[in-house]
Structure 1
């Protein structure tokens, strides 16, 4: 198993950042790597329960991921499971994501994402790239 850990500091206050990682309207602004659109979803990380999204790349390929929101502690953290679906819509191996926020000394927000239990190194590299790209989009929204 492989884990990915990514940290950022955003200039926005913690409550604003938390709204962008939990509320549907805000999630849809940054969810998925650059160049991806969200074709279908029930993204809502503000309460425990199921979620899914279908991402579509520039070539029209569809990528479905789903899971359960397992913990929500406003405005400090959210945790959820994560599993990719194959082309027959069969869900694969489950991994776990936790996003933790804390106020920093300058009035901004320290953001930490940990994606645990990925199947192997290659999955770790791909998820690190995907999250890094997604977080570039998030940064544009929360810091504006």
Structure 2
């Protein structure tokens, strides 16, 4: 976690893949549906689409419980990785059991070329409190393990 006092997260992963490959993995629905979400959950039929500005939503379903968890937001900014760096930014909010949309926070995936492949920097800001920041930190770490597996297969150690 970057700073628990301001309720922000920043997580960084390096991958031995091309910048274009990483960009497609974090923006295209057909790729996102394969890894996006914490372990123990899978995406329903409405995988997010971060390849264009505008609204997005997805439903994550518990593999054991069958419980549905809905979240949504708006893609606010896209800069394809021309010149070695790009980003996609979007708002983020979970929905309650009655469909009411909860607190809105902001997520940015920044991708950049490295000497050995590509780097993903995930930042999540404007979380409402420390408990939410800690919960999202656990969720994002689990989600990034899914992305690690998507690119690298089973690992005994997390990539740097």
How does the TM-score come out when normalised to structure 1? 0.94
Alignment partner for residue 35 of structure 1, among 13, 35, 40?
Answer: 40
Note the aligned Cα RMSD (angstroms).
1.2
The answer to which structure has the higher strand fraction is 1
Matched, 1:62 2:72: no
Is the CA contact (8 Å cut-off) linking 2:37 and 2:60 kept in structure 1?
A: yes
Stretches of structure 1 that go unaligned for 5 or more consecutive residues are none
How does the TM-score come out when normalised to structure 2? 0.85
Matched, 1:95 2:105: yes
Structure with greater contact order relative to length (CA < 8 Å, sep ≥ 6): 1
Alignment partner for residue 92 of structure 2, among 82, 86, 94?
Answer: 82
- Summarize the Cα distance change of 1:89–1:83 in structure 2 as closer, same or farther, 3 Å threshold: same
Alignment partner for residue 115 of structure 2, among 105, 124, 128?
Answer: 105
Shift of 1:44: 0.8
